[in-house]
Structure 1
């Protein structure tokens, strides 16, 4: 029985796994399998970028709104650092894409931070002012 990718994704995925286990490679839906594998990789990259975006938002708030610093921001910074480090440990090859991911996350964080704080986006540096090592360091908090 052949289950179609478009009509029953779960059934299709289970069928593809069974075919792989049985060594029936000529029966695999390779086009859709390749698409799904690539999508899984992109999902990991988007997840890392999302953690970094939130981390940048709170680092920017920490720097540009010192009077509003509090436990919530501190804990969010710590949490996002841990999640970023965990994502990179689980996906070490994402390190090769870090410059692009960092740049994309920082650009978006400027917009969301400006929206949340009311600070003009032009106040924030166009390029990330911190190194990746600083961003994930437990000791680093911008002044």
Structure 2
């Protein structure tokens, strides 16, 4: 199977002057996109483009860590305050699991960073669980007690008759 690349010749269409990155990020982005689409690679702001692309990757990692933090916060509360369980906790766990699955489906290169994200998220979840439950942080394990299977699939269900199940 052969694939051919279409190489466009650089456009000679003049573009308006680029806003400075420091003054107008949105205008700068629009201008950089126009330069790239026009094939005017010698005019792009490569350093700031590289920084922005790096930020995009960091944002995806941060979204994964955030979803893990919220999910583990609710798992910790579920495990340590059975009398306070609620449907909103169940829903939050479900939503965060879907978010994590979507992020990993859309960004498969994040998968090797799951252990790191889990460790970092758990540390924050542990502190959050202590604060939200008014229990001492020492009541929660120092290291994450949940393996990936528990984080992503452990069933939790709330019975309206106040008999929580898991």
TM-score, structure 2 normalization: 0.82
How large is the RMSD of aligned CA atoms in angstroms? 1.5
Q: 2-side partners of 1:118 and 1:2: how far apart?
A: 53
Q: 2-side partners of 1:133 and 1:93: how far apart?
A: 19
Q: Does residue 6 of structure 1 match 2:22?
A: yes
Q: Deviations over 1:72-116 (max 9, x none)?
A: 111111111111111111111000111110000000101111111
Name the structure with the higher helix share.
1
**Per-residue deviation, 1:140:** 6.0
Q: 2-side partners of 1:19 and 1:53: how far apart?
A: 39
Residues matched between the structures, number: 143
Q: 2-side partners of 1:70 and 1:140: how far apart?
A: 10
Greater Rg over alpha carbons, structure: 2
**Residue in structure 1 matching 2:137, options 103, 112, 121:** 121
Q: 2-side partners of 1:89 and 1:120: how far apart?
A: 37
Show the 5 A alignment for 1:56-135. Answer: 56-135=72-151
Q: Does residue 51 of structure 1 match 2:64?
A: no
* Greater relative contact order (CA < 8 Å, ≥ 6 in sequence): 1
Residue 20 of structure 1: aligned partner: 36
The answer for unaligned runs of 5 or more in structure 2 is: 1-16, 158-164
**Per-residue deviation, 1:139:** 2.7
Q: Deviations over 1:106-132 (max 9, x none)?
A: 001011111111111111111111111
Q: Deviations over 1:61-81 (max 9, x none)?
A: 000001111111111111111
TM-score, structure 1 normalization: 0.95
The answer for unaligned runs of 5 or more in structure 1 is: none
The answer to whether the Cα contact below 8 Å between 1:51 and 1:83 also exists between their aligned partners in 2 is yes
